[in-house]
Amino acid sequence: MGLINYNIEKYSPQQLVVIPLVLLVISLVLLALNMATTGMPVTPGLDFSGGTAVTIRTTDSHEQLQTVFADYPLSDISDMNDAKFLKFGTMDDAKYRSLSTLVSQKYPDASISQISETFGKSLQYQAIIAMIFSFIGMAIVIFLSFRTFVPSIAVVLSAFADMVMTAAVMNIIGITLTLGTTAALLMLIGYSVDSDILLTNRVLKRQGKLNDKLTGAFHTGIIMTSTTFAAATALFIVSWFGSIQILIEISAVLLIGLVADIINTWLTNVGILKWYVLKGGGK
Amino acid sequence: MNAKEIKALVTDWRVAALIILIVLSVIAIYPHIDQNGHVATNLQYGLDLQQGAWIQLELHAEVVGFTTDRPVSDFISNLSQSLDTNVEQVDANHLEIRKSFTQQELETKFSDAGGTLTNYQQGVSKTTADDVKSILENKINTLGTKDAKVNTLTGLNNVARYVRVELAGVDMNEAQQIVGKQGKFEIRVQTTGNATEHVIFGDDITSVQTPTQVPAGSNIWGVQFTMSQAGATAFQDAAIKYGATDDPDKHYLIMLLDNKTVYSAPLSTALATSLKTQPVTQLVATTGSGTSGSQQATNLEIHLHAGALPVDVSVAGSGGTSAPLGERYKEMALLAGIIALITVGFVIYYRYREPSIVLPMILINASEVLILLGFIALIKFQMDLPTIAGLIAVMGTGIDQLVIITDEILHEGRVPSPNLYLKRLARALGIIVIAAATVVIAMLPLALMDLSTLKGFAIITILGVLVGVIITRPAYGKIIMETLSK
């Protein structure tokens, strides 16, 4: 049973780890490059950089919209199914009020939001703190649960690689870091360790041949990831049709992260765990 | 499964607890048809799922730590003068400075005044934050806007830098007008019977002190306020003209906010006498003794401010959603939840091909979301889009953990003996508890911090995990044992 035949018997731990390791290095380089240009590993979106965003449902073309909003610092228009997503630069209070009047008169089907630069900065700062604490907290739980160094570090490393790879892909396809995507990344911390914990538990606490245990764990783990993947796909498709930007972004980040999770659980984590058991650790 | 077995299953405490919670949740959600013939529930929605607007204000003030060798009151009045603003003492070693200054500026001023600045945080103290909250609430209430929420965002250090106002049912512009609007404060004097005459308006009041006991230690509370010279003269003229100085008890002074009486009292004999000869700029309005007097003094202080906040504010963020868009988002979110459940069902079916396993799984999964929704309805939590993403995430992790249980129990052949079954269930629950603990820990920082909408998302995710581990997983373990032993 299963779509993929998981046969890792013939690969050595080194061979297993090499692909994700290369991906991880590439991802880190990409994040570093982004850091050099924007000052953040992942490009901050509206919530963190400040500005005004307007979502409207309209059939007006980009040119028409540009004419309508000619008096305002319109910086970007993007399409989402049947909705348009407009970004504006910073403007003063009076200008913002006149913009929101214009929007509500012209497009009754609209939502508008505005974040000041200082508020964005303080949100960004808190979001970073939250992520660091989440990650450290997760690592502590893992170490307390397994109480052995190598298997624990394997889980933590896999979760770290998940986040880094996801962040790199976000940069490539242009998903910015917002409150929504921060939430999604934090959700990934929780999701990604699920299958790692299952794997480690099966390998270290069960009797039997290593390869049987790995195959059994894969059998269960891949279904776990598939169900989550299915839920996230449903969310993605529906929010795409509904043009709900925040849900599109959250589900997209989850999907990317789950793919990274498959790579990191079944190559990185398995590789390290196999090396550890073959070396005589565990049972 | 025959009737007797079903009865045995239902009366098992794990299953019974689940059923009771489901029933309670449905009651809490209370789906019904409202007067307009629409399906309605007790669930409350955030401002991205219904028409409404939010405004987040930044409070321009600082809470700073200080040390000084001078008497504290001298130091404070000195600072207050050199900074040209109100300086309030928060506690033994913290001050609140009600104007925007950088840390460097304050360090200089502090050393000039004979003290040192020990730490610096932008925002206001908890007490001032509460004042700001009640001033805004008062203002919104007097304008008759219902369904308003005012929250100060207080960090872990008890300093509030932002206050968020949420108004359902109004658009962005109305919201800005409501929040920006000052109330009309007026003092009038009683002439004959119920007739009154105008004395001064609120713009003649230049400053208002926090409530104090007058005289100190008497437990009689009052609010001291200061009028401008012109205001004081107008006040004296009116008091003499309408006879308040000669017969205070027949000529009460009445304070009105937006034409509603908020305070009414006669001049004290001492004040009446001195007003006969000269204008008085500083007045004290006493409100009574004890807790009720103190409470009334606090309210009066707010009224004297006429809705003006004790510190300057600027708009840090705002947003709004129109009614049709909110309605559409709501429908889409519901659809996403249902489709996610169905898709997950297909994946599970593909794996197990056994309705007696798949059906309980899906039902348990759906019941988990139902219990969460019940809880959300009960605590009147406002569901927004991130919360819905959180709910769908809970569904994802929920089904994952059911898979772990099922696979552990099914491991090597089908029907395990009750003994072996319990051992395996315990092992599965062991994995689940670790996984659940990591999710809870990962979400905890968000739940404790004030990252606007993410707080709700984090709380719902944590609750979902807890409901799963405590209620639904054990029930599933019991149900699956019964079905597998067929």
Neighbouring residues of B353: CB distance < 8 A, sequence distance ≥ 6? none
The pLDDT confidence band at residue B452, using thresholds 50, 70 and 90, is: low
Chain B CB within 8 Å of residue A241 CB: yes
CB contact under 8 A, B320 and A114: no
The pLDDT confidence band at residue B437, using thresholds 50, 70 and 90, is: very high
Of A126, A226, A239, the CB nearest to B336: A239
The mean per-residue pLDDT over the stretch B407-416 comes to 71
- A176 touches A245 (CB < 8 A): no
pLDDT at B179 over 80: no
pTM value is 0.81
Of B171, B176, B340, the CB nearest to A234: B340
Interface of A with B in 157-196 (CB under 8 A): 179-180, 182-184, 186-187, 189-191, 193-194
pLDDT at A280 over 60: yes
Residue in chain B nearest A119 by alpha carbon: B316
How far apart, in whole angstroms, are the C-alpha atoms of residue B68 and residue B129?
26
How far apart, in whole angstroms, are the C-alpha atoms of residue B179 and residue A180?
27
How far apart, in whole angstroms, are the C-alpha atoms of residue B377 and residue A128?
31
Of A114, A179, A189, the CB nearest to B442: A189
CB contact under 8 A, A201 and B315: no
Of B322, B333, B348, the CB nearest to A111: B322
pLDDT at B197: 84
Strands in chain A per DSSP E? 51-57, 74-80, 83-88, 110-115
CB contact under 8 A, A183 and B439: no
Could you report the per-residue pLDDT of B334-393, keeping only the tens digit for each? 899 899 999 999 999 998 888 888 999 999 999 999 999 999 999 888 888 888 888 888
pLDDT at B146: 60
CB contact under 8 A, B427 and A191: no
Which residue matches tokens 């809880």? Answer: B375
State the best of A80, A204, A227, A237 to mutate against chain B, taking most chain B CBs within 10 Å. A227
pLDDT at A2 over 50: no
Chain B CB within 8 Å of residue A111 CB: yes
How far apart, in whole angstroms, are the C-alpha atoms of residue A131 and residue B393?
18
Burial of A174 (0-12, 13-18, 19+ CB in 10 A): exposed
CB contact under 8 A, B451 and A228: no
Q: Which residues of A touch B51 (CB under 8 A)?
A: none
How far apart, in whole angstroms, are the C-alpha atoms of residue A110 and residue A21?
45
The pLDDT confidence band at residue B486, using thresholds 50, 70 and 90, is: low
Alpha carbon of B95: minimum distance to chain A alpha carbons (Å) = 22
The mean per-residue pLDDT over the stretch B32-49 comes to 82
Could you report the per-residue pLDDT of B189-200, keeping only the tens digit for each? 888 878 888 888
State the best of A111, A117, A144 to mutate against chain B, taking most chain B CBs within 10 Å. A111
The Cα-based distances of B31 to A47, B331, B373, B379 in angstroms read 35, 16, 12, 16
CB contact under 8 A, A230 and B403: no
Alpha carbon of A83: minimum distance to chain B alpha carbons (Å) = 11
Share of chain A above pLDDT 70, in %: 96
Could you report the per-residue pLDDT of A229-269, keeping only the tens digit for each? 999 999 999 999 888 888 999 999 999 999 999 999 999 99
Of A1, A131, A238, the CB nearest to B332: A238
Domains of chain B (ranges plus CATH)?
A: 3-48+322-484 (1.20.1640.10), 55-182+307-316 (no CATH), 185-289 (no CATH)
Of B315, B325, B450, the CB nearest to A110: B325
The pLDDT confidence band at residue B144, using thresholds 50, 70 and 90, is: low
Of A131, A235, A241, the CB nearest to B392: A235
- Which three-class secondary structure state does DSSP give residue B312? strand
* CATH fold for the domain made of A13-45+118-278: Multidrug efflux transporter AcrB transmembrane fold (1.20.1640)
Chain B CB within 8 Å of residue A119 CB: yes
pLDDT at B91 over 80: yes
CB contact under 8 A, A130 and B322: no
How far apart, in whole angstroms, are the C-alpha atoms of residue B399 and residue A259?
18
The mean per-residue pLDDT over the stretch B284-304 comes to 83
Share of chain B above pLDDT 90, in %: 10
pLDDT at B288 over 50: yes
Alpha carbon of A2: minimum distance to chain B alpha carbons (Å) = 8
Amino acid at the residue B153:
L
The average confidence (pLDDT) of chain B is: 84
Amino acid at the residue B454:
L
Residue in chain A nearest B388 by alpha carbon: A247
Angle at B451 between CA A114 and CA B392, to 5 degrees: 100
pLDDT at B145: 60
Residue in chain A nearest B177 by alpha carbon: A97
CB contact under 8 A, A134 and B443: yes
The Cα-based distances of A132 to A138, B211, B452 in angstroms read 10, 44, 18
Q: Classify domain A51-115 at the CATH class level.
A: alpha beta
Task: Give the number of A-B residue pairs with CB atoms closer than 8 Å.
Answer: 243
The candidate with the shortest Cα–Cα distance to A110, out of A212, A277, A245, is: A245
Residue in chain B nearest A258 by alpha carbon: B396
The candidate with the shortest Cα–Cα distance to B445, out of B462, B467, B464, is: B462
pLDDT at B415 over 70: no
The candidate with the shortest Cα–Cα distance to A7, out of A219, A194, A221, is: A219
Interface of A with B in 42-101 (CB under 8 A): 55, 57, 93, 96-97, 100-101
In sequence order, the β-bridge partners of residue B87 are B97
Interface of A with B in 13-52 (CB under 8 A): none
pLDDT at B303 over 50: yes
pLDDT at B270: 83
Of B347, B434, B438, the CB nearest to A230: B347
CB contact under 8 A, A138 and B444: no
How far apart, in whole angstroms, are the C-alpha atoms of residue B252 and residue B190?
5
Q: State the complex-level ipTM.
A: 0.86
CB contact under 8 A, A57 and B441: no
- Which three-class secondary structure state does DSSP give residue B305? coil
State the best of B161, B166, B171, B172 to mutate against chain A, taking most chain A CBs within 10 Å. B172
Q: Which residues of B touch A108 (CB under 8 A)?
A: 322, 324
How far apart, in whole angstroms, are the C-alpha atoms of residue B270 and residue B286?
14
Of A109, A228, A246, the CB nearest to B325: A109
The pLDDT confidence band at residue A4, using thresholds 50, 70 and 90, is: low
First to last CA, chain A: 28
pLDDT at A1: 39
First to last CA, chain B: 8
How far apart, in whole angstroms, are the C-alpha atoms of residue A192 and residue B435?
10
pLDDT at B181: 66
The Cα-based distances of B324 to A107, B78, B123, B169, B383 in angstroms read 11, 56, 37, 12, 17
Neighbouring residues of B321: CB distance < 8 A, sequence distance ≥ 6? A110, A111, B47, B48, B49, B50, B51, B52, B329
Q: Which residues of A touch B397 (CB under 8 A)?
A: 190-191, 194, 228
Q: What are phi and psi of B332, to 5 degrees?
A: -65, -40
For B257-264, the CB contacts below 8 A with 24+ separation are: B257/B142, B257/B183, B257/B184, B257/B185, B257/B186, B257/B303, B257/B306, B257/B307, B258/B142, B258/B183, B258/B184, B259/B184, B259/B186, B260/B142, B262/B299, B262/B300, B262/B303, B263/B287, B263/B300, B263/B303
Could you report the per-residue pLDDT of B207-258, keeping only the tens digit for each? 788 888 877 778 888 888 888 888 889 888 888 888 888 888 888 888 887 7
How does strand B44-45 pair with strand B382-383? parallel
Q: Which residues of B touch A181 (CB under 8 A)?
A: none
The mean per-residue pLDDT over the stretch B426-452 comes to 85
pLDDT at B451 over 50: yes
- B204 touches B234 (CB < 8 A): yes
Could you report the per-residue pLDDT of B306-350, keeping only the tens digit for each? 767 778 888 888 888 888 888 888 889 889 989 999 999 999 999
Q: Which residues of B touch A242 (CB under 8 A)?
A: 328-329, 331-332, 335-336
Alpha carbon of A28: minimum distance to chain B alpha carbons (Å) = 22
Domain definitions of chain A by residue range: 13-45+118-278, 51-115
pLDDT at A9 over 80: no
